[in-house]
Amino acid sequence: MRRTDRLFDLIQVLRDGRLHKASDLADKMEVSVRTIYRDMDSLVASGIPVEGERGVGYILRAPVFMPPMALTQTELEALHLGAALVRQTADVELQEAATRVLTKIDQAMPEPMFRALDGFGKEIFAAPEVAASFQNMPVIRRAIREQLTLLIDYTALDGSHSRRCIRPLQMEYWGRAWTCTGWCETRDDFRVFRVDRINETLIPGDRFASEPGKTLMDYLKRFTPS
């Protein structure tokens, strides 16, 4: 058990991206130089990109190294959304970096989690400009994810209230406010709701299936100039 801990500590030390002599590491770890050499072998065997050069010392090839860490489903969603935003706003270099990171993370994920996220980033439309936080957004996101019918109490711009049953399809960010696009069962047509004008949300529990004419794709087709 001591050895396991020492290997972890060695990584921590090497993380600074600087050069380290085996003798220094031996002093710090309070073991012999020979043991350090053996530990380095173990690290290399474990796939850690540590390199040693004669007469120079040891250094990490990839300077940043993330230890094993646990992520919740929501944190994963945050990473996906963040990457989607970066892909949209930043320069090519950062775009590609964001994609690479996401690929690495996704590959490290077990199947069920990956499924639950499928298309999440894509369903978010965002133009980052102003901060907006609304209470019912998590509920809406969950409804989109799990294809759950949503009952909302809505206040239109003219002040009129209405209760609607919708199939939430996508969320959009318009710079000033978030909206939710969905198929409105009440009006039997697509509608866009400003999230800050949704007073109440309720999930009855029934799941809706994708019906031709009521999907996100069908909605997008409307935005084609005649």
Partner DNA sequence: AACCCAACTGACAGACCCTGTCAGTAGGCC
Partner DNA sequence: GGCCTACTGACAGGGTCTGTCAGTTGGGTT
Residue 19 or residue 156: which is nearer to a copy of itself going by CB? 156
For residue 209, the number of C-alpha atoms closer than 13 Å in the C-beta half-sphere is 2
Beta bridge partners of 112: none
Identified binder of a copy of itself from the candidate list 73, 118, 163, 211, rule CB under 8 A: 73
The secondary structure of residue 195, as a DSSP letter, is G
- Based on the shown chain and the rule CB under 7 A, indicate whether residue 1 belongs to the binding site for DNA: yes
Stretch of residues binding a copy of itself (CB under 8 A), selected from 24-32, 51-59, 185-193, 201-209 = 185-193
Contact 23, 33 (CB under 8 A): yes
Parallel/antiparallel/unpaired status of strands 150-155 and 161-173: antiparallel
**Binding residue for DNA (CB under 7 A) from 37, 65, 125, 174?**
37
Kindly state whether residue 208 participates in binding a copy of itself, applying the rule CB under 8 A.
no
Query: Which listed range, 20-28, 143-151, 171-179, 200-208, lies at the site for a copy of itself (CB under 8 A)?
Result: 171-179
Q: Are 170 and 216 spatial neighbours (Cβ–Cβ below 8 Å)? A: yes
31 binds a copy of itself (CB under 8 A): no
- Indicate which single residue of 1, 54, 161, 188 sits in contact with a copy of itself (rule: CB under 8 A): 1
What are residue 173's phi and psi, to 5 degrees? -115, 120
Location of structure tokens 């390199």: 51
11-30 binders of DNA (CB under 7 A): 20-23, 30
